[in-house]
Structure 1
Amino acid sequence: MSRFIQLHLLTAYPPANLNRDDMGSPKTAKMGGYDRLRVSSQCLKRTWRTSDIFEQALANHMGTRTKEMGRKIYGSLRDKGIEHKNAIEWAKPIAGVFGKLKEFSKKEKDALKKLSDADREKKELLELEIEQLAFFDVDEQRNMESLLTEIAARKDGPKDDELDFLRKKVQAVDIALFGRMLASKPAYNVEAACQVAHAISVHPIVIEDDYFTAVDDLNDGQDDMGAGHIGETRFAAGLFYSYACINRELLIENLDGDDGLA
């Protein structure tokens, strides 16, 4: 079998706003001197990762991309009977394995002292967030949960040698396909085995403005004949060309030699 699997796709979409820019307008790209509709590679990969097809085909082999794993760790410790203060202190080094955590400034810390206990505890959870999105492999999450069970049972925080649960070879197919970058732990970066290009319409387009209204069902029109809501959005239709290339050998390598999973 060839090392590289190349996919060339043509997909037609009716009038829609598939991928918005910062102004809420459909994304475009200039190609051949004309404006064309565009769907970014990031949008495509996110859509594939969260699709029912991926979920059904790759159950138990999908990673989690989040900044909020620290909150999940905290919640797990609380469910195991650990008090708030210890749950916060123990969750920080575990979540911090995957990236730098947010930190309160001195002014923010002083402001915490003026809050009620409930409000302060809620606010303190912000320091459990990782500053950048991180990809968590399924094995790494299982190892974390095992560690949480152990430290909750012994009523003591994690030791430094217990925080070595990062993996270079993964079991999450989405990480193996699309890669992972950990700025603070580059040794555990995973090179993407799948290259995905932006999808581009094969023809020039003109983005249209759609003025729309919504009718209020309980408005009998006796006092006000106006619409219940008025809005405007932008859309366009197109036939998109998409390209993806999978390095089969790298995919198998990323999955620690699991040919069947690849």
Structure 2
Amino acid sequence: MSRFLQLHLLTFFPPANMNRDDTGRPKTAVVGGVPRLRLSSQALKRAWRTAPVFAEALRGHMGSRTQRLGEVLRDHLTSGGMAGDKAIEVAREIAGIFGKIKDAKDKDSTRIEQLAFIAPEESAAALALADRAMAGEKIDAKTADLLRTADTAADIALFGRMLAADPDYNREAAAQVAHAITTHRVTVEDDYYTAVDDLKTSAEDAGAGFLGEAGFGSGVFYLYLCIDRALLVRNLGGDTALAATALGALAEAAATAAPRGKQNSFAAHGRASFILAEKGDLQPRTLAGAFARPVVGDDLMEDSIKALTRFRQDIDAAYKQAPEPSAILHVGHGGKLADIVAFCRD
């Protein structure tokens, strides 16, 4: 099995604000001396994890990223007849294995301070331990082996996790995801908008009920991700079939899903116009260098594809390496998403 799977995608998005900064404007980066739009890797991974195509393909093999495991345990215990104060005490003890619990005097005293990425097997083990406590058994959560170093949570295997409470159970991410950037210069524009009060009469005034301003931008984004397939299989406890399913689902989600910020205002649901998938054992490399000089021209997508293809050929020639096995989707020219998914799964 080839160790690395690399995906390079070019996707056009119309005017949108899918990923905002602290001021509410689209995230940007200066690349090659000019401003570009940017989609953070965190926003991309969240969009893929929650995409229906990803969740459906990996049903039963998805972790939960939450502070609220203690609340689930508390409600489970009280519904089973345990007294409220005792249920909180037991829930706090068990949930504390996954992270620091909030102060006992806090309104949400069963919540974990941080978001914890919890695998299905770990959730099941926590509930089973709660059942033992409900049956009257004296439990010790610290010795109950609730945490796993490998499991069937495909999203945890791909994107990793950090458990501050017990670093021995951290999971190194098998997937490395770059921030997506536009291949060309982009200037963020401002949308000045108003809202009308339907119940305001003309006798009052002719003004709007609300005034606002929102930033937006549009462009062709280059996205790069690299997956260590051997690490993915290890994270999944050796389950190669599940690893293949996860890789196919990830490829499809990357091609079809985007961050959901301001989507009700812009409906920027793009699809990748170009996908290059590569497999091999050579040191991975991004092809972002193709866009260090911003693309210009009348057809930014086709010019971006040409720049990426030419840069890939130049890199391979300079480092005297033969092209690795690959699959290409180029909308209007050939290739299908199903072929890319099959290539990634194989």
TM-score, normalised by the number of residues in structure 1:
0.88
Query: Which residue is equivalent to 1:90?
Result: 90
Cα deviations across residues 167-193 of structure 1 (Å, max 9, x unaligned)? Answer: 000110000000011122111111110
List alignment gaps of at least 5 residues for structure 2.
244-346
Query: Which residue is equivalent to 1:60?
Result: 60
Query: Which residue is equivalent to 2:124?
Result: 142
Query: Which residue is equivalent to 1:169?
Result: 150
What letter is aligned with 1:164?
A: D
Query: Which residue is equivalent to 1:253?
Result: 234
Aligned length: 243
Cα deviations across residues 30-58 of structure 1 (Å, max 9, x unaligned)? Answer: 10001100010000001111110111100
Cα deviations across residues 84-114 of structure 1 (Å, max 9, x unaligned)? Answer: 110111011101101111226xxxx5xxxxx
CA contact (8 A) 2:119 2:153 kept: yes
CA contact (8 A) 1:252 1:259 kept: yes
TM-score, normalised by the number of residues in structure 2:
0.67
1:192 aligns with 2:177: no
Q: For 1:54 and 1:240, how far apart are their aligned partners in 2?
A: 21
Query: Which residue is equivalent to 2:212?
Result: 231
What letter is aligned with 1:145?
A: L
Structure 1 position 16, deviation (Å): 0.9
CA contact (8 A) 1:63 1:135 kept: yes
CA contact (8 A) 1:97 1:163 kept: no
Structure 1 position 80, deviation (Å): 1.3
Q: For 2:141 and 2:223, how far apart are their aligned partners in 1?
A: 46
Structure 1 position 133, deviation (Å): 1.3
Structure 1 position 162, deviation (Å): 5.5
Query: Which residue is equivalent to 1:114?
Result: none
Structure 1 residues 41 and 195: CA distance shift in structure 2, 3 A? same
CA contact (8 A) 2:90 2:130 kept: no
CA contact (8 A) 1:94 1:163 kept: no
What letter is aligned with 1:135?
A: F
List alignment gaps of at least 5 residues for structure 1.
110-122
Q: How many percent identity over aligned positions?
A: 53
Q: For 2:235 and 2:145, how far apart are their aligned partners in 1?
A: 19
Query: Which residue is equivalent to 2:114?
Result: 132
CA contact (8 A) 2:163 2:170 kept: yes
CA contact (8 A) 2:5 2:227 kept: yes
Structure 1 position 228, deviation (Å): 2.3
What letter is aligned with 1:251?
A: L
SS for the counterpart of 1:22 is coil
Structure 1 residues 216 and 157: CA distance shift in structure 2, 3 A? farther
SS for the counterpart of 1:200 is strand
SS for the counterpart of 1:26 is coil
What letter is aligned with 1:236?
A: G
1:10-89 correspondence runs (5 A): 10-89=10-89
Q: For 1:131 and 1:217, how far apart are their aligned partners in 2?
A: 43
SS for the counterpart of 2:96 is helix
Cα deviations across residues 129-180 of structure 1 (Å, max 9, x unaligned)? Answer: 22221110010111112222222132x5532466321000011000000001
What letter is aligned with 1:39?
A: L
CA contact (8 A) 2:94 2:141 kept: no
What letter is aligned with 2:118?
A: F
